[in-house]
Structure formats: structure tokens, C-alpha cells
Structure 1
């Protein structure tokens, strides 16, 4: 597939690829595909490389790399999710990981070891022994978390200012085993799970159009189960303020060898099918605004 017709901009915390001409109100993000593991972090890790990488949304940034060709920016993390999790609130610090973490109400994610500074990766494997200091935790946020979110917020504001609407497509991958928790479908388990926080994060026209785009491309699609959307979807999705957010989960088994974390023989075909979906998503416009304009 041809390279995106776009101009790349490299940052330490993220990779931003801007289209040559911004023609879409959509923004595509990949917060969990980062593959950067700082040496100081690796010195304390107790897992081998494959187990450490099991929480990555590996290659999702490559699956959606065509987005700038269709007039929409693409923002992808460079730091690994095991280092700092961009899909958590900055306040979700696990006291079992961070010495001196501020006291706050706990939640299921923190209890499971999946706070903003994760304690575990896939299947509950401990990343390191002992704790890190609050200073180190804050340094990770300053290094990887805040630059990413600052950039994402600017992109969405720019979309809203230019087009009157902003649509964030937050792209992830899910382990194939997660399909067991998905609703039963006559055609088989879902390839894609769309999460809109049960209707709270985007307007119905956004969800329906996205659902149709994936179905038209031959994907089986489920809604909100087992993934309804994380912090990014919840935080940025403000339909009443013309900012919509939809989480997209892609079954890893359809594009990669999960055991070895390598693209499988079907990778290019899935990427090409997704390219058509990206095109359709980039063309979305509020039908109400279109009618008003007419």
C-alpha cells in the first residue's frame, strides 16, 4: 500500500502525522501501540521481552497509517503502555506501585494493577519488583503522558474550530481470548468492538456510520462488550459540545501472531480493508449541520 500523502512530525512522546491538507474533522489516535522502553525502566523489569510486550496494541499504528491520506491527523504513542498508560486518568496511581501515591478512591482498574503506572501486563504478570517513587511516577507522566494528551486536545480543538465538529477514533487491539466475553453473534465472534460508553461518548449518527463502515468492509462488529471505552473515550467524548469519541478494538488474531507478536500472513489484507474504513470515517459529517447548510 502506498505511503500516506502526509508530512510526519516526530516527538519524543508521540508520532504525529498530519495530512498535507486538513479536510476531515476526524482525529485517529493509537495510545497503546508504543514500543519504546527506556533503559532505566528495563533495568527493573522482571519479565522477558515477549511477556512485557503482551500489553501492547502492537502494529495498530501501522493498521491505521492511511488516515492522513484522507485528510485526518494520526497520533500514535511512542512509549510503551507498560511504562505509562495513556488510557488512564493521571490521578489513577496504584499505591502498590507508587510509594507515596496520593490517597484517593480506588477503582477496579487500580485494584487489577492497571493504573496509569501499571503494575501488571497481560494475564496479571508483575512488571517489576518493589515500588517506584512518586517523583519517578510524575516524571513518567511529564515525559510520556502529558505531551500526548496536550497534543490530542489541540487536535480536537482544531477540528472543532475548523469544521464545527470533532470526532476522535481511539484505536486499540484486543486479545483474541477477549472474544469469549463478547455477545454471541450468528456469524461468529466479533472482529471489531466499538465502544461509545453506552451512548455517552458520541452521537448516534457517529456510531451508526462507523458500524456501517466496518460491516461494509466485511468485519463482524459488536458494541460496548467486552469494551465500552476507556479513559480517553470517556474524557474527550462530549457530544453536547460537538466533540465525539469512539473506541475501536481490533481482534489481534485477524492480523498478527499473538504468541510471537509479529504480523501474520493476513496483515496486509486487513490493513487494506481498514484503509477503506478510514476513508469512510474521515468523510463523516454531522447530518444535522449538512441539512442546515442546505
Structure 2
């Protein structure tokens, strides 16, 4: 994006058309071709594909977009209001974050964007969930450096990721016939 939270410009100046086209050709297109291939492979191997599109959100965005709310979310799960992932999968992801004591919202203020819209097809067992994480949980946003909670947040996200990786797996392996 050209503009980020608080109306700040992403770049010092405008990109030339040639530079923008070069970035699309060398970065964006190969990334999405590979992502589509990975979704196809996962669906073939496991009967389903779950794409996690993880982002960090500026704390000020939460403050400004969630004015008037008693509890502001620390995590926002975006499934395009059910169009990009089955509610069962999103429920499990939400439970993983809540089990760690985090405040979670769905689709507000971020419902998911291009990636969730493009790859999420729950009727075809292709699920895409955007996860927005409040940067203030792990970062001094002014200095853009880790804060005192960084290591704890890293460990927490490792546990949550492990739970998410278990979604859809059989709880027990069947016994082999003797």
C-alpha cells in the first residue's frame, strides 16, 4: 500500500510506473503463483487447505477504529464474514488465542483483504483467515524495537501456531489390523 495507518506514506516518493510493474512481476506474481500451488498441494494431500495470512496492526489503528468499545481487540480474525473460511475452523483459531488470554474480535475492524478473498473457498475445503496482531503486544512502535513482552509473545504465538496446525487432524490414529 502507498499509505499506512495515520495517513503516513509508505515510501519517500512516488514509485515510477516501471518500478511498480517490476515489483509486481518479480515479487507479487511469483508469490501468488506459489501460494496457489501450495493451496492445491495441501488440498490434495490433506483434503483441505488452511491459509493463515498473518499481519501486525498498529495500536493506533485499533484505538481509532474501535473508539467507544469497552474492550479493544488485541487479535482480529478476518474471514470475510464467513465467505473465506468455515466457522468451525475460525472458532478453533479464536479459541487458541482466547486460551492464551488474548482479546479477540472477528472481522471488525479488519475482515480480510485480497488474500482471504482470493484463496478462501470454504465450500471447497479451502480456508483463508487473516490474523491481525496488535503490535503493542510485542513492540515499541515509536522505536520499532521489541518491547519487554517480545519473548513471551513469541512463545505464546508458537503455542497458538501448534494448536492451529492440529486443526482437522484426527485426534487418534487408527490401530493397524494385525
Q: Does 1:205 align with 2:88?
A: yes
CA contact (8 A) 2:78 2:130 kept: yes
User: Mapping of 1:205-224 within 5 angstroms?
Assistant: 205-224=88-107
CA contact (8 A) 2:139 2:147 kept: yes
Return the TM-score normalized by structure 1: 0.54
CA contact (8 A) 2:53 2:131 kept: yes
Question: CA offsets per residue over residues 118-166 of structure 1, 9 Å max, x none?
Answer: 2x34422342445512x33221111111121112111111110000100
Question: CA offsets per residue over residues 242-277 of structure 1, 9 Å max, x none?
Answer: 100010000000100000111111000011111111
Distance 1:259-1:240 versus aligned 2 partners, 3 A rule: same
Indicate the structure with greater helix content: 2
User: Mapping of 1:1-294 within 5 angstroms?
Assistant: 114=1, 118=2, 120-126=3-9, 127-129=11-13, 132-133=16-17, 135-180=18-63, 181-182=65-66, 184-185=69-70, 188-285=71-168
Distance 1:214-1:128 versus aligned 2 partners, 3 A rule: same
Q: Distance in 1 between matches of 2:20 and 2:137?
A: 35
Structure 1 residue runs without a partner (length 5+): 1-113, 288-294
**How far off is 1:286 after superposition?**
7.6
Distance 1:130-1:213 versus aligned 2 partners, 3 A rule: closer
Is the partner of 2:42 in helix, strand or coil? helix
Match of 2:175 in 1: none
Distance 1:227-1:130 versus aligned 2 partners, 3 A rule: closer
Q: Distance in 2 between matches of 1:191 and 1:123?
A: 18
Distance 1:129-1:215 versus aligned 2 partners, 3 A rule: closer
Q: Once superposed, what is the RMSD of the aligned Cα atoms?
A: 1.8
Q: Distance in 2 between matches of 1:282 and 1:131?
A: 39
Q: For CA contacts below 8 A with separation 6 or more, give which structure has more relative contact order.
A: 2
**How far off is 1:189 after superposition?**
1.9
Aligned length: 167
